[in-house]
Structure 1
């Protein structure tokens, strides 16, 4: 049973879905603000690309476009901004001949480490009053939500 009765005609479900939409929008706005605080010239997209490059050890721009479902021109502009800021650099990709891998610079890695530390502290503070069971359920729901296609 999902809390929806025939009597309410699915109204409770509609309200829950609207609350979820609103809260996800607020979460996205907060993520954009965090990216902006990490570096004033860094958009959320650029921050996400830099983060992915760090997690994967680097990749090609086309791989970023495929992973994030972005247009290649968007990735190109964001990568150019990251390069101008000294956060990303290009390296020859021995597996691809003429291809180039994008990798975070030392400054890019430091920026990400600082952002992760601050995000972690903010999450701990925000959830400090939650029970272990609530945290486990929330984590499970987030994994489930993000795994859905």
Structure 2
């Protein structure tokens, strides 16, 4: 970061953190008070997070653009992904999803992968890479996240 871009990078990072903080809060709220079935809880969480980004469209556009630009928000993006993964991981345990016990590392990898899969679809929708309706983005993001969770936490290699 050079002296010319430092204030802009700092502003972008702060704004990114504020917006993704709103998303994380919305997801936490939904998971704290939702149906115990994982698929329904996941769909509601994805929908709630997307609603934050669509309520003020410039927020969603900013998040998608900032993430695709990389640099200035890389640290905040990693932190937001880790926070969302921790929420997913805690939600799995609270919902009693552990039919087959998994290691803490396996649960963490599953949560990070699930969040990454869902976010990629949402980012693509917000960034205009894919032209899908809101409900399609929620359905596909949820399906991708649940598939990753199932694949990583199964007993298959």
Per the normalisation by structure 1, the TM-score is 0.31
Per the normalisation by structure 2, the TM-score is 0.30
Q: Which is richer in strand? A: 1
* Structure whose alpha-carbon radius of gyration is higher: 1
